[in-house]
Structure 1
Amino acid sequence: MNITLCTLFEKNYHYGVAALANSLIAAGYQGELWVGYRGALPGWIVDAPAFDRASGRLKVAPQLTLCMLELDTPLHFTYYKPTFIREMLEKHAPQADICAYIDPDIVVKCDWPSLAGWFTEDGISLAEDVNWCFPARHPKRLLWARFFAPHGATPRRGLDRYYNAGFIAVSRAHFEFLDLWRRLCDLVVDYNKGAKQLKAGGSAELFHSTDQDALNFALTVCEAPLNTAGPEAMDFAPGGYYLSHAIGSVKPWHGGFISQALRGRPPSAASKWYWRYANAPIRVYSDGELRKSTLALKIAAAIGRVYKRA
Structure 2
Amino acid sequence: MNITLCTLFEKNYHYGVAALANSLIAAGYQGELWVGYRGVLPGWIVDSPAYDRASGRMPVGSGLVLRMQELDTPLHFTYYKPTFIREMLEKHSPQADIVAYIDPDIVVKCDWPSLCGWFSEDGISLAEDVNWCFPARHPKRLLWARFFAPHGITPRRDLDRYYNAGFIAVSRAHLDFLDLWRRLCDLVVEYNEGAKQLKAGGSAALFHSTDQDALNFALTVCEAPLNTAGPEAMDFAPGGYYLSHAIGSLKPWHGGFVGHALRGRPPSAASKWYWKYANAPIRVYSDGELRKNELALNIAAAIGRVYRRA
Same fold (TM over 0.5): yes
Distance 1:215 1:49 in 2: 39
CA deviations on 1:236-295 (whole Å, 9 max, x unpaired) are 000000000000000000000000000000000000000000000000000000000000
CA distance, structure 2, for counterparts of residue 238 and residue 263 of structure 1: 23
Which runs of structure 1 show a deviation greater than 2 angstroms over 4 or more consecutive aligned residues?
none
CA distance in 2, matches of 1:160, 1:167: 19
**Aligned mates of 2:161, 2:225 — CA distance in 1:** 14
CA–CA separation in structure 2 for the residues paired with 1:50 and 1:229: 37
- String of CA shifts for 1:35-60, please: whole Å, max 9, x gaps: 00000000000000010000001000
The total of aligned residue pairs comes to 310
Deviations 1:190-216 (A, max 9, x none): 000000000001000000000000000
Look up the SS of the partner of 1:279 in the other structure. coil
Q: How far apart, in 2, do the equivalents of 1:18 and 1:120 lie?
A: 27
Tell me, in whole angstroms, the C-alpha distance in 2 between the residues paired with 1:280 and 1:244. Answer: 17
For 1:259 and 1:10, how far apart are their aligned partners in 2?
26
Asked if the contact 2:5/2:34 (under 8 Å) is kept, the reply is yes
Post-superposition Cα deviations, 1:75-107, rounded to whole Å, max 9, x if no partner, equal 000000000000000000000000000000000
Q: CA deviation at 1:152?
A: 1.1
Q: Does the CA contact (< 8 Å) of 2:24 and 2:112 recur in 1?
A: yes
- Asked if 1 retains the 8 angstrom alpha-carbon contact of 2:257 and 2:266, the reply is yes
Distance 1:208 1:277 in 2: 32
SS at the partner of 1:306? coil
Question: 1:149-180: CA deviations, max 9, x gaps?
Answer: 01111000000000000000000000000000
Relative to the length of structure 2, the TM-score reads 1.00
Which whole-Å CA distance do the structure 2 matches of 1:201 and 1:303 have between them?
34
- Structure 1 residue 62, shift from structure 2 partner: 3.3
Offset at residue 67 of structure 1 (A)? 0.1
| 1:259 equivalent in structure 2 | 259
Instruction: Answer whether contact 2:25 2:62 (CA < 8 A) is retained.
Output: no
Q: Normalising to structure 1: TM-score of the pair?
A: 1.00
What secondary structure is seen at the aligned counterpart in 2 of 1:165? Answer: coil
Q: 2:130 aligns to what SS in structure 1?
A: strand
- Kindly report the root-mean-square deviation, in angstroms, between the aligned alpha carbons of the 2 structures: 0.3
In 2: Cα distance, 1:191 partner to 1:38 partner: 25
- For structure 2, the 5+ residue unaligned runs are none
Contact 2:143 2:206 in 1 (8 A): yes
Alignment pair present for 1:172 and 2:178: no
